[in-house]
Structure 1
Amino acid sequence: MVGYENLVNNFKNLINNGRLSHAYLFYGADQEKQFLFAQSLANFLEKKIFKPSDALLSETLIISPDEENVIGIDRVRSLKHFLWQKPANSIRRLAIIKEARNLTFQAQHAALKIVEEPPESALIIFIAKTIDDLFLTLSSRLQKIYFSSQSNRRESAIEEDIDQFFESLIRELRKDPIKNSQKLKEVLRRLSLIKQFNVNKRLQIKSL
């Protein structure tokens, strides 16, 4: 998946080394991306292809909120029945719970019991915007995977480039500290402003 290559490789390694957990919480602003990743993982478990399948997968169950935007305890009970069956085409039976914040109190309590004593071949993925969408007693037992948005990843890359720019510039100016004393002083002053007051790095570069 574009933008999540490292995460894809991490999960492939976990699967190949037999270290996949029984329960995960995928969280972040873009729940659709999380769902697509979970579908891709399901397809990889069955067909060794890490992308969403065009066909139904026999070892995957998807649970979504009903017409009243609720996931009740009966849905979780059906999940329990599904997970206790042994997989025929995969190493795991995977249940994906979309919009997990809509689980009722009783449903979360029932899910907690499954997570605490999961069948050996069970895998559950909860999808939510934040960790707080689930009760602490449940979320604390899940392996948490944060999905950053595309814009956040872009901004982080830009910030990293700017940091490298300052490091390179200071290193270059220090080759002749006498000649570049004023320039070096100004660069260090602006770098100090960034660290102390979290001012815009790009604006500080333009002012140099």
Structure 2
Amino acid sequence: MRLLVIEDEAPMRTALVETLKTEGYRVLAAADGVSGLELACTESFDLVLLDVMMPGLDGFALCRELRKRERTMPVLMLTAKGQVDDRVEGLDSGADDYLVKPFSLRELLARVRALLRRKERADSLGKELLIGKSAVDFDRRILVRGEARHELSEKETGMLRLLATHSGEAVSREKFLDVVWGYHAYPSTRTVDNFIAALRAKLEDDPAHPRHLITVRGSGYRLDL
């Protein structure tokens, strides 16, 4: 696996690179947002570890630019800014997970492994998925059902990917928050229900009596292809 570390503080950058290399990852590093963005857009990486507080181009702006340029590799944000609003901004900018400094290296490595596993599962699905009468294009974030064509949000796409990798099994609301939103504190599990309702409206012939996005009482939701 090939990783990119974008961190302007030299001691932290060195520690991250050495730790990740010790675990067997191939690692490149950038000391600022501008050079990091160039690397991320010109070379192939399986994961980006991105500091938020950098001069010039900060992590939020860098992540938004990556997603604007359709760079889809997972992004793990590393920052001392731990307020809920900061976490929300980071995830809304396109980050997949958010780790607040100071953090343990064990937790960092666990987050890295989780994001890489998620990427491998997503890659194994391919670019398209057939669900009943619907066709989902993950890259373009489009769902087509009959004559209807629906755009999918990033979160809706992530939820469908997660459901597809566990096809036929119940996925808990907490699992959706952990994998798709990247952390537990925000938003609430009710948000998951709202997103499921929106997906049913696009996917199901009769959203009130779904055949594909099934509620599993006490467990969560299941995708039946």
Q: TM-score, normalization: structure 1?
A: 0.30
Between Structure 1 and Structure 2, whose CA radius of gyration is higher?
1
Name the one with the larger strand percent: 2
RCO comparison, higher one (Cα < 8 Å, 6+): 1
Name the one with the larger helix percent: 1
